[in-house]
Amino acid sequence: MARKQINIEQLIPGMYIDEIVCGLRQRSRIGETRHFIITTQNEISLIAKEGIKTLFIDPEKGEDCRDEPEEDSDKADLTQLEEEIPREPRPLEEELRDARIILGKVSTVLNYAINDARAGKKIKTEPFKPLLDEIFHSVKENKDALVTVCRKKSKDGYALEHAVSHSALMIGFGQTLGMHKDALLDLALGSLFIDIGNVRIPNDILTKPGKLTPEELTIVKKHTLLGAEIMMDAGTFPEKAIAVVMEHHERYDGNGYPYQLKGDEISMAGQMASLADVYDASISIRPYGTAGDPCQVIRDLYKESGKRFSMDMVQKFIKMIGIYPVGTLARLESDKLGIVIKQTKNLTQPLVRIVYDLKTNCYLPPKDIDLSKVLGRGDKVVEAEAPDKWKIYPGRFMFTE
């Protein structure tokens, strides 16, 4: 192993940490201390804040110090140019169809793993590697596709659809934060098992209609620690994945569980997971109850920034989701109503499916318009509308199958 000692000032994103030598208290605050890739500047700041002066990296598995010459720069430049060549966009229906196929594949394998955990067997993570790659590429192609198809949750499939949607949100969120692919896949793996601890909660409590008693609620809250325990017993889950499961109910103000962590005591993985968890649960279209309007959910998250969630993380999450998230009912300048079905590079002018004309008070044949391409020669979003006000529910127009 090409283990190399460096100063904290030399640490940059992309380096593979072989070991951070520190005390138990420092380790509990840093989280990971061995065998992981630094993905963001925030992680470096956290390590430096704990007084770490030197640490060990493995240059064969990640970036080396900047003072060393880079090899194959021409090849790297060529790869970058190839990635920047614009491709013809795929039809939205094709992207959604592929997302449904991925959901089916992941759900099947995840069901086997959940049954193994329920039977007391160790979970095997190897079968999920190719599936995580498929989720990654789906999000890269269209970050909204998997979240869209998972938004309509079935009565018996909620846990599976929530897990897949959460994994897509985490990859998209991590990309916004500048994380490397390996870190994104670790986070997504944790998302797939976000509620695995429920297999050790009595079913009569999980399926109880109505409000839980304080005693029952205490039992349900144990699912985070139980899930982390199942993952650690398996011995194959990375620390980021375990942090997703253990910390997705922690809150920035310290009023979460299981440890009432506060502020940056919560790992970045935990802070990301809590936002994605609340967002996906709030926008879910279920057989019972009403789904939250995505635009209102975003507003609610913003109101909670600095309280339940970090303000910085909320702002970056909104940047990823969009000002008008997929599923928003939008009023256009032409007095037409449309459903946001895909984000574009222009956060204020997405791809919308026109469905209603307010001037004539009648429905229109659904028509998709990319508002980012009209550039003043056509419509634009004026504001989001409450679906209940017009009795127009986006889910009816988002799913063609």
* DSSP β-bridge partners for residue 385: 329
* Residue 70 pLDDT: 44
Mean pLDDT of 204-218: 93
Structure tokens at 47: 């390590």
Give the number of C-alpha atoms closer than 13 A to the C-alpha of residue 191, restricted to the C-beta side. Answer: 36
Left (φ > 0), alpha (ψ -120 to 50) or beta: where does 209 sit? beta
> Could you tell me the CATH superfamily of domain 92-321?
Hypothetical protein af1432 (1.10.3210.10)
**Within 13 Å of residue 386, how many CA atoms lie on the same side as its CB?**
5
pLDDT digits (tens, 9 = 90+) for 149-195: 998 888 778 899 999 999 999 999 999 999 999 999 999 999 999 99
The predicted pLDDT at position 346 comes to: 81
Q: Which amino acid is at 74?
A: D
Confidence at residue 285, expressed as pLDDT on a 0 to 100 scale: 84
Mean residue pLDDT across the chain: 88
Report the pLDDT value the prediction gives residue 400, as an integer from 0 to 100.
55
Residue 181: Cβ within 10 Å count:
16
CA–CA separation, 49 and 31 (whole Å)? 13
Rounded mean pLDDT, 246-264 = 97
Domain-wise residue ranges, the chain: 4-65, 92-321, 329-398
Q: Tell me the C-alpha distance between 104 and 252, whole Å.
A: 35
Tens of pLDDT, residue by residue over 270-313, are 999 999 999 999 999 876 667 788 999 999 999 999 999 999 99
Per residue in 28-49, pLDDT tens?
A: 677 778 877 887 787 888 888 8
Q: What are the E-state strand segments in 146-286?
A: none
Q: What is the mean pLDDT of residues 102-119?
A: 96
165 and 146 Cβ atoms separated by less than 8 Å: yes
pLDDT score for 171: 97
Higher pLDDT, 27 or 199: 199
Q: Do domains 4-65 and 92-321 have the same CATH topology?
A: no
pLDDT digits (tens, 9 = 90+) for 62-96: 788 865 444 444 444 434 434 444 445 567 788 88
pLDDT of residue 246: 98
CATH 3.90.105 holds for 4-65: yes
* Cβ(32)–Cβ(12) below 8 Å: no
